[in-house]
Structure 1
């Protein structure tokens, strides 16, 4: 037993947290600094500010009854957008339900994002050229799907990867190991991102697994695992860029664990985070806010200002206003449409029901 414990300790010691910027926006790891131009750095900040406004407005729209299902994203912008920014247009995204921002920056129109929230089928129709699946609601199911997509890309000789996202709760599912094991065995070009926001829905990560990190679970399937400061957008970008380079070079998949935090509830469907999170913990993570940290870094470089940020805020508000108006004008989905999309030929027991709904809808 002593020898087994020593081996475990040796494994755990290998997983140090990758960080480029500290909480004050200071570079603490020059070697890991990604090669990004000033314009690219500003674009990253623009996307994070825009997404924070989108989150605030989406919460408000949800409370007004103008959106359906919504999972808040504030606090996870660096984790979400740092990974997406390291991708190429030809890459595939297989998101979880909190990962709508990645889809938007990959090309999904805001209007469709809002329609997805409402459960409208149009919101699940990806535009031509947007390589993505609809957000997965089943916890962890997207991980095995990503392994399959990645293998398909490899067999077709595509210079692209499949990236998928889940939370620390998803890492407790059987699909998590199965998907990574499959991708590892076939050296499929996949990137598995676990956004560890510490609580899944309400269960602390410490109670989900005896492992000190999720990243170390990569060892069991023979692939690299990386532990990253998920509030540091540059560290997240650097880790994802390296994982993508490995994948397209035929070196197989990577597991990335981003240590992050969601400031809001798990979803807007009645979750109350004050029942399982302390005010002290919230305050601790607010000091690590990814926007504040990156803003300090850019201001110190002299390439970001309050005026520029306000322009992004106003643009986001205008875009959201126009998109929700367009969503409101989209014809509502009908029951008969749902039936027709689900079945090539209706079962006998639904034919009568369809006739009844068709009559109601024609009035």
Structure 2
């Protein structure tokens, strides 16, 4: 692969190398200078919790308790690093793999599994958490996110003269979504309207089984050039660098300077979903290479070198993950099958004549089976 290809690590912002050693970068250090040992311990804790929850959800799916699970294994630094840069009144538009980002928005992780159990589209309040519901249609939410950002600008929530009150949108999607028409349309609208939005691409190198090399001949961040949007590539397994880059991008957008595209170069250590078999399209050698770049272990090495990860803190996090696993299992297994008529609830915010007509028809349809049974 040529040096400028999509799998090149050329031009990646990195503040923490694979061995956990800080890397000097005067351009980006100011955006990470506020990360105290307490903040780094928090990042390690959140990444560790995300991974433990991910493993529990995978296990529940294998037991038949979930219809599907979408793992974020290996992408914890990209999610926690960026998620901890979000503040009020910023708004997050996730795709369907941003479990770590959801954790930074104080969403109760077990309740998120209602979607993967087939009970609800989403059980959290997208307004209270400033975190939209998951979107399973690849790339479609990028247009919604851009429209929301344009509305924030027109409502005076951007470049207001009071930086502490300004907000922006951050929209997450994967490398495969960059090949979708919706994403490219969103980039057009964001660019020409100077929308306050950060497009955050988690390039985990595979759109299901299709490698990035089949989607682009250059790093994905370069796609922003054609839209006149500033872009940056970052080591997606370096939580400090991801936080710094996202901090800069959100400040840029909040200040009314327009959109930014971030490509977080990472690796999906699990299969695309629990219905996928990654061994069919990638090698064990490649997987082992990326295990050596584990984002959680990288930060752990750094904190250990600083003497800032005491055993009592590790023990407390271990206990927390075990308690979360137990609560997740108990919560999921306590759910009962809902009445079928609930599928008509929450379709629209206000009552809708067509939906109510369909609800009434379906109710009569169900009752017809009961009536037949009573006459038998």
Alignment partner of 2:145: what SS?
helix
| 1:298 Cα deviation after fit | 0.8
Contact 1:191 1:255 in 2 (8 A): yes
| 1:147 Cα deviation after fit | 0.5
Match of 1:25 among 20, 26, 29: 20
Contact 2:67 2:116 in 1 (8 A): yes
| 1:44 Cα deviation after fit | 0.6
Contact 1:59 1:268 in 2 (8 A): yes
Contact 2:145 2:169 in 1 (8 A): yes
- Separation of aligned partners in 1, 2:140 and 2:104: 23
Contact 1:20 1:29 in 2 (8 A): yes
Given the superposition, is the C-alpha separation of residues 181 and 51 from structure 1 closer, same or farther in structure 2, using an over 3 Å criterion?
Answer: same
Q: Which runs of 5+ in 1 are unaligned?
A: 1-8
Equivalent residues, number: 349
Alignment partner of 2:194: what SS?
coil
1:1-363 correspondence runs (5 A): 16-31=11-26, 32-33=28-29, 34-35=32-33, 36-121=35-120, 123-126=122-125, 129-158=128-157, 159-210=166-217, 212-269=218-275, 271-330=276-335, 332-342=337-347, 344-346=352-354, 351-357=360-366
* 1:139-198 Cα shifts (integer Å, max 9, x gaps): 111111111111111111222111111111011111121111211111111010111111
| 1:313 Cα deviation after fit | 2.3
RMSD over aligned Cα atoms? 2.3
By percentage of residues, which structure has more helix?
1
Q: Pick which of 111-120 and 324-333 moved more.
A: 324-333
Given the superposition, is the C-alpha separation of residues 127 and 317 from structure 1 closer, same or farther in structure 2, using an over 3 Å criterion?
Answer: farther
Contact 1:168 1:198 in 2 (8 A): yes
| 1:359 Cα deviation after fit | 7.2
TM-score (norm 2): 0.87
Given the superposition, is the C-alpha separation of residues 247 and 121 from structure 1 closer, same or farther in structure 2, using an over 3 Å criterion?
Answer: same
Contact 1:201 1:266 in 2 (8 A): yes
| 1:349 Cα deviation after fit | 6.7
- Separation of aligned partners in 1, 2:192 and 2:124: 32
Given the superposition, is the C-alpha separation of residues 273 and 122 from structure 1 closer, same or farther in structure 2, using an over 3 Å criterion?
Answer: closer
- Separation of aligned partners in 2, 1:344 and 1:150: 28
